[in-house]
Amino acid sequence: MDIKDIISMVFIGGGLFFFFTGVVGLLRFPDIYTRMHALGKCDTLGLLLNVVGLAIYNSSSLTSIKILFIAVFILLTSPVVTHIIAKITYDSGIKPWQKDNS
Amino acid sequence: MIDFFIFVGVLLCVLITFIFYRVFAGPTLFDRLISMGVIGTKTLVLLLLIGFIYKRPDMFVDISLVYTLLNFIGVLAITKYLRRYKTDGY
Amino acid sequence: MIVDGIIILMGYILTFLILFTFWCIFSGYFDAFHLLLGVICSIIVTIFSSHYLFPEPITIESIKRIGRFIGYIPWLIYQIIIANLQVVYLVLHPRMPINPKIITVETTLKDDISRVIMANSITLTPGTITVDIKDNTFWVHSLSDASSSGLINGDIEQKVKTTE
Amino acid sequence: MVWQLDLFLLVFIIVLAILSLVVKDLLLSIILLGGYSFFMALIYAEMGAVDVSFTEASVGAGVSTIFMIVALYFTARFVRRDVKTKKISLAGLILASLTALVMIYVADAMPDWGNPQAPAHLHISDRYIEKSQIEMATPNMVTTILADYRGYDTLGETTVIFIAGIVCLLLLGTATQRLKHNYDTKI
């Protein structure tokens, strides 16, 4: 158990925390748009932290670079997916949940 | 460290069980779609963790990369269908 | 005439270099046979798809622009972390103090790439998701009052403008 | 094998498989089948079959999802109300459960996972491991076995797949022409 392991454990623990909040948000929030906030943000950062933690733990540099490429792909694709689903939802006429209605 | 990875993997599996509630209950199709997306990211991390548990991460990273891209392409294909045939959300 | 040719060739060369770097990283073999295969594959893909990656001719200005965009990334990551902490606060708060609504934001950004950067930044930063873009108007779904205030006073737009 | 993960993953697989059959919406069924393929790839990876897992992830989750969506363009998403759905036939149910029982009974006689004394590991594997590098000079042993030692087997398989592909193309081709024809005549 050296310092590298502890750093990667901290990163992975942080990622798990964000995953956990993302899932809680997915279950608690009232409508699809608000749930998308939980998906688009917590999930992205959680995965980013997990991936960086694993890349730090890994010893071979080439594999670490490949693992970091996963993080780059996620950063590029995640907002696009969130935006596309939001647009499709809006086009199909689902109205956002308002505070006054409840 | 391997015990820690197994622990993280089990925690992720518990989280996936909770997301399945949204897949069953989600009122609209889009809820189910984003829930499956969230499950996809969890399985991606699980795959990397399995690679580290077996101490062969170099083989498993390639599959994770394919996972990442296919998650994206699958959502794109489904939304392309939904743009053609509009739904009222169900 | 010669300058035009060099500019068109630059796009091909850059695409080839990017593809070949990816090949080297993903294959992991560095002997002559695998590198030769990589060169052949990269050239074939370059011929077919260079115009997708660089639709406009490359000038010194566009290379400078990529440099400015790389300078923009640290600020974006900082914003992503703030966004997450805000969403975490909203999710874990027992009464969930959310007030979701859709707001419209006008932008003065001219070209498409800036708008894409702007839209993706909005989606990644505190409590806001870009729902739709038409001409100069962004439809943005915001989660709470605090999250939409940062967008209305135009911080993100100022930041994106520096990359232009 | 990590049994803690296996327990969860196998339950997820069963849940997703049943759900994708029960659901009335074809698009949702496709989404669920994509998730099923992802979990299946995870299980293959966990059993150490990385190449099978790679194929499952790219073909099962990627290509076949897209193909099924393309097929969805030619049909409807929901069951029509006026068409009566068939009830579960008793004979089929009995046959399926009997087959399942026989398979569970037989599975008990299989060698344990990773057992070095299993028949598959005793006879010919040693020769493949020792000689394949010398005889064929291909770095990947699975490729050597499939393409060199069992070349005729693989040729037969590819022929079958090739014929299936041609038949699919023929069927889809006529379907598109018919659609186009209907479209033209309507106008």
- Considering CB atoms only, which of A18, A28, A80 is closest to C96? A28
Between CA D175 and CA C82 the distance in angstroms is: 53
Between CA A66 and CA C25 the distance in angstroms is: 7
Report residue B11 as tokens.
Answer: 């925690």
What band does D187 get if pLDDT is binned at 50, 70 and 90?
very low
- pLDDT digits over B9-42, tens only? 999 999 999 988 888 887 888 888 888 888 888 8
Q: Which residue of D has its CA nearest to B76?
A: D66
> What is the rounded radius of gyration, in angstroms, for the C-alpha atoms of chain C?
21
Report residue A18 as tokens.
Answer: 């964000």
Between CA D150 and CA C101 the distance in angstroms is: 63
- Considering CB atoms only, which of A36, A66, A90 is closest to C132? A90
The owner of tokens 């010893």 is: A59
**Does residue A47 form part of some domain?**
yes
What band does D103 get if pLDDT is binned at 50, 70 and 90?
very high
Give the pLDDT score at C6. 72
Q: Kindly determine whether residue D42 and residue B9, on different chains, have CB atoms separated by under 8 Å.
A: no
Cβ burial, residue D22 (10 Å; 0-12/13-18/19+): exposed
**Does residue A100 form part of some domain?**
no
Q: Which of B78, B79, B85 to mutate to test the interface with D (most CBs of D within 10 A)?
A: B78
What band does D182 get if pLDDT is binned at 50, 70 and 90?
low
The answer to whether D35 and B37 are in contact (CB under 8 A) is: no
pTM listed for this prediction: 0.82
Report residue A55 as tokens.
Answer: 């890349």
- pLDDT digits over D126-153, tens only? 788 888 778 777 777 778 888 888 888 8
Beta strand C101-106 with C137-142 is antiparallel
Q: Kindly determine whether residue C28 and residue B62, on different chains, have CB atoms separated by under 8 Å.
A: no
Between CA C105 and CA D106 the distance in angstroms is: 66
- Considering CB atoms only, which of A66, A83, A96 is closest to C123? A83
The answer to whether C7 and C58 are in contact (CB under 8 A) is: yes
Between CA D64 and CA D33 the distance in angstroms is: 10
Q: Kindly determine whether residue A85 and residue B52, on different chains, have CB atoms separated by under 8 Å.
A: no
Percent of chain D with pLDDT over 90: 18
Give the pLDDT score at C11. 78
Domain extent at residue B60:
2-88
Between CA C84 and CA A49 the distance in angstroms is: 12
The owner of tokens 């018919």 is: D178
- Average pLDDT, integer, range C97-123: 79
Q: Kindly determine whether residue B62 and residue C26, on different chains, have CB atoms separated by under 8 Å.
A: yes
The ipTM value here is 0.84
Best CA proximity match to D33, nearest among D10, D6, D4, D62: D62
**pLDDT(A93) > 70:** yes
Between CA D144 and CA D157 the distance in angstroms is: 16
Name the domain count of chain A.
1
Domain extent at residue A56:
3-91
Which of A20-34, C108-122, D12-26 comes out lowest in average pLDDT?
Answer: C108-122
Beta bridge partners of C105: C138
Which of A96-100, B59-63, D88-92, D125-129 comes out lowest in average pLDDT?
Answer: A96-100
**Does residue A98 form part of some domain?**
no
Name the domain count of chain B.
1
- Average pLDDT, integer, range C125-133: 78
Q: Kindly determine whether residue C143 and residue A99, on different chains, have CB atoms separated by under 8 Å.
A: no
